[in-house]
Structure 1
Amino acid sequence: MNVMVLGSGGREHALLWKLHQSKQIGKLYAVPGNAGTAALAKNLPLSVEDFEAIGNAALENEIGLILVGPEVPLVQGFRDFVEAREELRHIGIVGPAKVGAMLEGSKDYAKAFMSRHNIPTAAYRSFGPEDLEAGYAFLETLTPPYVLKADGLAAGKGVLILDSLAEAREELKAMLLEAKFGAASARVVIEEFLSGIELSCFVLTDGNSYKILPTAKDYKRIGEGDTGLNTGGMGAVSPVPFADAGFMQKIEERIIIPTVEGLKQENIPYVGFIFIGLIKVGDDPYVIEYNVRMGDPETEVVIPRIASDFLELMQATANGTLHKTTLEVSPEAATTVVMVSGGYPGSYAKGHEILGLGNTSDSVVFHAGTQAGPDGSVHTSGGRVLAVTSYGQDFKEALKTSYKTIEGIQFQDANFRKDIGFDL
């Protein structure tokens, strides 16, 4: 079977890497892909938002399955587009329809869904520009720190955690009246701050049955000790040591089952990944957010631990037979450390040549922000450049290998965190 993966990051490289291992795989295509995916798939230089062009390319290349990596095409209704075109309907899609993608597309929608289905989450209220004074009043009922979330998609940058009430008031005004995050902050969710340790849980569902994928923990802040600005992710580990069988049972009973059943009850057809961002408060799990696709860089540690044929899992998800499959997971730990461009998450230069990619046999290097030159050289083209993934008996052993591999990779102003897993 020919398969197309939409996206251009480390997540998509990892998905293609795993699909490439399947005995049943035909040709692989990446839209638009990067320098790393080019070794596994044919990169098609199309925008993930150009549904018409993607549909035509899928027909031209006899694609049987499309796996959607990023959230934007899902929130914009890629699945709905495919299902509306008769000549595309035979293609399996892994990714929810627009109504299901609202779980990520709107924080307000997601919180209301959790509330309806008694899924544990932080207390909250949402506000529009006309409610600014009510927002101020609600802030005064909370104890710091204050959590403000842009309702819509803001590329991972729409969440603010502030210690000062005065600053929280200023930021609320900037979000609602001055469009600090553009249309994404036309509404703002204010919620109570939950103190605990975070982890990510990934669920694969065909709309009826589900499989729980390995857990992961990622590290968002640019600075060591979780300091500095938020990024798209500086590293991740899997499994999460504190997510033992008892805690996972709580997650399944209180969060996963009510989520999958809630979607069914509300007649929301949902086929694909549900990424549940969780926080452990005391001994109990609470939902921070839903995403409607795999996370990045968590994918780079979760997918390498899956021992089952990944194409079979994706086909079963797309055609509603997931209950007939078995999910096998490697007992080994996996870690990934992200190498980023100097200056990221602020402004940074692109186009630096990356050296040493041939000396990485102990790890798997997933490309995120890379581009191939005409001479075959590889250059930086984004903030997060490479994710260096390794295996080990535990996360400490795996991390040692990732850091050793990084020593052999060079590009100008490269930066990475040296303390991934520090809090475990």
Structure 2
Amino acid sequence: MNILVLGSGGREHTLAWKISQSFNCTQVFVAPGNAGTDLIAINVDISVNDFSAIGEFVLENEIDLVVVGPEDPLVNGIRDFFEANEKLKSINLVGPGKVGAQLEGSKDFSKIFMQKHGVPTAEAQTFSADTIDQGYTYLEGCDMPIVLKADGLAAGKGVVIAQSIEEAKDTLKSMLLDKQFGDASSKVLIEQYLDGIELSVFVLTDGKDYVVLPEAKDYKRIGEGDTGLNTGGMGAVSPVKFADKAFMDKVEEKVIKPTVDGLKADNIDYKGFIFIGLMNVGGEPYVIEYNVRMGDPETQVVIPRIQSDIVDMLLAAAEGTLGDYKLEIGEFNVAGVVLVSGGYPGSYEKGKSIQGLADVTNSLVIHAGTTQEDYEVLTNGGRVLTIIGRGDDMEAAISNAYKDVNSIKWDGMYYRKDIGKDILAPRIF
């Protein structure tokens, strides 16, 4: 099979890496890809939102399966584009259509969906610029802290936890009137703050059946001890020890089944991943958000734990035969440390020469913001690499990752030194 992966980040490099190991894969293409995918696949210089060019490439290169990595083309309707084209509609594609993608594309849509189908989630109300005064009044009746979320896609940065009513009102004004996140904050959810510990659960569904992939915990803040600005993710670990069988059984019964059943009840034909951001509150799961694709950097620690053939799994989801697929998960632990450009998540420079890649011997190196010029790998983004360590226990996985982090260098490189270490200490819920 010829397989096309859309995207250019660490998530897409990880998917392409795993797909390339399948006996069912003839050739992997990645559009547009990065310096890492160039080592295991053929990079294609096409934007993920250039649907016409993607369609032409698929037909010209006899692509059998398209795997959509990022959220943008899903929210913009790439599945709908394929299904509306006589020549493309028979191509297998992993990713929901435009309506299903609103689970991520609109926080308001997803909140209404959860409330309608009985999925446990925080209480919330939505406001616009026209109803901002009602929003101010609503805030005065809320307990602090409070969460404010931009309704639309904001590159993972449209969430603010306000510690006081004054801060919350200022944030609401910045989002709605000052358009802090552009069109993404034309509507804002004011949401109850949940006190617990976060984790991510990943589901692949064909619209009828589903498989639950390994869970993960990621680290969003730039500073150690979860301080500083939010980022796209500074690292991740899998498995998550507080997500034991009893808790995961609750997740399946209270969250996953109502979600999949809700999609069916609403006649939303959904073939793809559902990333469920959860809060463990006293041993009970509450949904913070849905994403309609795999997470990044969680993909980098989840996919390596899959022992069964991932192409079989992806094809079954696309064809509607996932009920026959047997998912096999490794018992080992995986930890990922993200290396970023100095200044991220603010301004940063690109084009820095990365040294030491050949010296990494025990870990998997996943590329994100990289490019290659004259056989030299250069930085090309904020999040540049993820170093993936593996071990029989989490302590060993973390240690192995950091050993190889020390082999990598470029001018201004930064990383957190505490990824995964918080869950090594016992925690009682």
Q: Give per-residue Cα distances to partners, 1:389-413, cap 9 Å, x unaligned.
A: 0110111100101100011111111
1:79 corresponds to which residue? 79
1:151 equivalent in alignment to 2:132? no
Query: What secondary structure, in the 3-state scheme, does the structure 1 residue paired with 2:388 have?
Result: strand
Q: Where do 5+ consecutive residues of structure 2 fail to align?
A: 424-429
In structure 1, the gaps of 5 or more residues are none
Q: 1:388 corresponds to which residue? A: 387
Deviations 1:70-120 (A, max 9, x none): 000000000000010011112100000000000000000000000001110
Q: 2:402, 2:283 → 1: CA distance?
A: 32
Give the aligned residue type for 1:290.
Answer: Y
1:365 is paired with a residue whose SS is strand
Q: Paired residue for 1:52?
A: 52
- Structure 1 letter corresponding to 2:245: A
Identity of aligned residues (%): 58
Partner SS, residue 421 of structure 2: coil
1:169 aligns with 2:169: yes
Report if the CA contact (8 A) 1:351-1:379 is conserved: yes
Q: Deviations over 1:326-368 (max 9, x none)?
A: 0000000111000000010010110000011111120000000
1:198-237 mapped onto 2 (5 Å cutoff) = 198-237=198-237
The one-letter amino acid paired with 2:264 is: K
State the AA in 1 paired with 2:38: A
SS of the aligned residue for 1:339 comes to: strand
Which 4+ residue blocks in structure 1 deviate beyond 4 angstroms? none
Is contact 1:64–1:90 with CA below 8 Å preserved after alignment? no
For the aligned residue pairs, the C-alpha RMSD in angstroms reads 0.6
Q: Which residue of 1 aligns with 2:375?
A: 376
In the alignment, which residue of structure 2 is the partner of 1:119? 119
Q: TM-score, normalised by structure 1?
A: 0.99
Alignment of 1:231-246 (within 5 A): 231-246=231-246
| CA–CA separation in structure 1 for the residues paired with 2:40 and 2:82 | 25
Alpha-carbon separation, structure 1, partners of 2:120 and 2:188: 20
Deviation at 1:27, TM superposition (A): 1.1
Deviations 1:149-203 (A, max 9, x none): 0000000010001112112111101111111100000000001100000000000
**Partner amino acid for 2:136?**
Y
Query: In structure 2, what is the Cα distance between the partners aligned to 1:421 and 1:145?
Result: 26
CA distance in 1, matches of 2:279, 2:299: 19
What letter is aligned with 1:403?
Y
Shift, 1:129, TM fit: 0.8
Indicate the residue corresponding to 1:270 in structure 2. 270
Letter in 1 for 2:41: A
Question: How far off its partner does 1:422 sit?
Answer: 2.6
CA distance in 2, matches of 1:235, 1:276: 18
Is the 1:225–1:422 Cα contact (8 Å) retained in structure 2? no
CA distance in 2, matches of 1:118, 1:273: 20
Alignment pair present for 1:42 and 2:38: no
Q: In the alignment, what sits opposite 1:181?
A: 181
Deviation at 1:288, TM superposition (A): 0.2
**In 2, Cα distance between equivalents of 1:68 and 1:310:** 14
Q: Which residue of 2 aligns with 1:133?
A: 133
Asked if 1:327 corresponds to 2:342, the answer is no
User: For residues 30 and 375 of structure 2, what CA distance do their matches in structure 1 show?
Assistant: 18
Question: C-alpha displacement at 1:423, in angstroms?
Answer: 2.0
